[in-house]
């Protein structure tokens, strides 16, 4: 499956001239095997990964990729807009980062103290994004990413405030 994006590109370029299906009626009716995620979904994973320290800006935006069996840094881009676009267009990188975010979130749900710390620090992170929006040193595309990050952080904060980590526990009081 490595390099599937190259095949997708070539298929999309060549499919305008010819059909690669057994039957021409299948054109446009079969679902994509590797559908690219929606922008909201990518932004949620992007924002959570940044907030949880999984996606960092060390000589470019990237994350630790474990798909090859060894840890190596997967670089997405030098600017927030380019890196976000690269993540949005790379199905497998997105899925890898999504798995890492879900794993970290499940660890947090089991630790109410750390979950509370995250909830409290989200306001700090949102203030940081607001200051980046006011900074004239960033391109409009980067500021658009910061605005979307801010919206994703607000939605995440609302979900965390509504979350009750102790719900679902069956604590039955013993009589003796």
pLDDT (tens digit per residue) in 121-175: 998 999 999 998 888 888 899 999 999 999 999 999 888 888 765 666 677 777 7
Q: Are residues 75 and 125 in the same domain?
A: yes
pLDDT in tens, 1-18: 667 767 767 666 666 666
Domain with 25, as residue range(s), is: 1-35
Q: pTM for the complete prediction?
A: 0.74
Is residue 45 located within the same domain as residue 31?
no
Residue 175 has what pLDDT? 77
**Domain co-membership, 134 together with 67:** yes
What's the confidence (pLDDT) of residue 119? 85
Whether 48 maps to a domain, the answer reads yes
The DSSP result for the chain, as a single string, is -TTHHHHHHHHHHHTTTS--SSSGGGTTTSPPSSPPPPHHHHHHHHHHHHHTTSEEESSSEEEEE-TTSS-EEEEEESSHHHHHHHHHH-HHHHHHHHHHHHHHHHHHHT-HHHHHHHHHHHHHHHHHHHHHHH-TTS-HHHHHHHHHHHHHHHHHHHHHHH--TTTT---PPP--
Please tell me the predicted confidence (pLDDT) of residue 69: 78
Using one digit for the tens of pLDDT, what is the confidence trace for 51-110? 999 999 988 999 998 877 788 898 999 999 999 999 998 888 899 999 999 999 888 888
Indicate the number of domains in the chain: 2
């Amino acid at each position: 499956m490595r390099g599937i994006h190259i095949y997708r590109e070539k298929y999309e370029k060549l499919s305008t001239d010819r059909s690669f299906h057994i039957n021409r009626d299948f054109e446009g009716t079969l679902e994509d095997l590797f559908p690219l995620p929606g922008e909201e979904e990518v932004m949620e994973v992007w924002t959570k990964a940044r907030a949880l320290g999984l996606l960092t800006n060390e000589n470019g935006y990237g994350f630790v990729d474990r798909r090859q069996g060894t840890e190596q840094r997967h670089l997405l881009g030098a600017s927030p807009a380019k890196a976000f676009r690269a993540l949005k267009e790379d199905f497998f990188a997105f899925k890898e980062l999504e798995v890492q975010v879900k794993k970290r979130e499940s660890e947090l749900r089991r630790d109410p103290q750390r979950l509370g710390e995250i909830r409290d620090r989200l306001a700090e992170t949102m203030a940081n994004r607001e200051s980046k929006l006011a900074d004239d040193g960033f391109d409009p595309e980067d500021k658009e990413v910061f605005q979307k990050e801010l919206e994703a952080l607000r939605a995440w904060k609302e979900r965390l405030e509504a979350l009750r980590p102790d719900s679902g526990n069956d604590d039955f009081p013993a009589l003796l």
